[in-house]
Amino acid sequence: MKLFRYIFLITLISLFYTCNSEDDESALSKDGPFLISELAGTWEATKAQFSVNTVSVDVVEEGGTAQMSVQSDGRFTLTMDPVDRDAYTVSGEMFWEEWQQTFYFAIVWDDYPDDWDTYGHTYNGTTLSLNGGTGTGEYDFDNDGNMESCSVHFIFIRP
């Protein structure tokens, strides 16, 4: 009888850990609807829009520039050069977050290494579009030196 209880207990514990490890955990990958390495190279923004509440700024539309350089491992640097202030650079890493058999384009920003955001995207080999919801970007709307959380919309093309 003790042997039966011992086997039952071991089986129960094994089932508990197996079920817990399969719960809706996300997996991070460079492979998804397309390989992140396909983005390697230089990209020029035709749109670099930051929005919060009713305020929206498109750096490119206002005469500034935005350029992104992507390495084959997904590391990137984005240089923003608005017309009304000094240029600045942000960086991070792109990857796919797989959750419930769906892939989401994701970025972990170097300034926030313990967190990442997911973005709506389109990509056709020459144009990359990213749309992020509330809190997926930052911009200094009033040029006071303090970045404010916002949503972003970028359209990049290969020059």
The Cα–Cα gap between 79 and 33 comes to 26
Question: How confident is the model over 99-121, as a mean pLDDT?
Answer: 92
Q: Comparing 15 with 111, which gets the higher pLDDT?
A: 111
Residue 28, pLDDT score: 64
27 or 150, which is more confident? 150
Classify 28-157 by CATH class: mainly beta
Confidence (pLDDT) at 103? 92
Q: Is the pLDDT of residue 21 over 60?
A: no
Reported as a single tens digit per residue, the pLDDT across 24-56 is 455 667 888 999 999 999 999 999 999 999 999
Q: Residue with structure tokens 């923004």?
A: 45
The answer, yes or no, to whether residue 1 has pLDDT greater than 80, is no
How far apart are the C-alpha atoms of 105 and 117, rounded to whole Å?
Answer: 8
Distance, first Cα to last Cα, the chain: 75
What CA–CA distance (Å, rounded) separates 110 from 90?
A: 8
Cα-only R_g, the chain: 21
Q: Which of 103, 99, 122, 109 is nearest to 149 (CA)?
A: 109
DSSP state of 124: -
Mean pLDDT of all residues belonging to the chain: 86
Q: Which residues contact 137 (CB under 8 A, 6 or more apart)?
A: 50, 149, 150, 151, 152
For the cut 80, the answer to whether the pLDDT of residue 148 exceeds it is yes
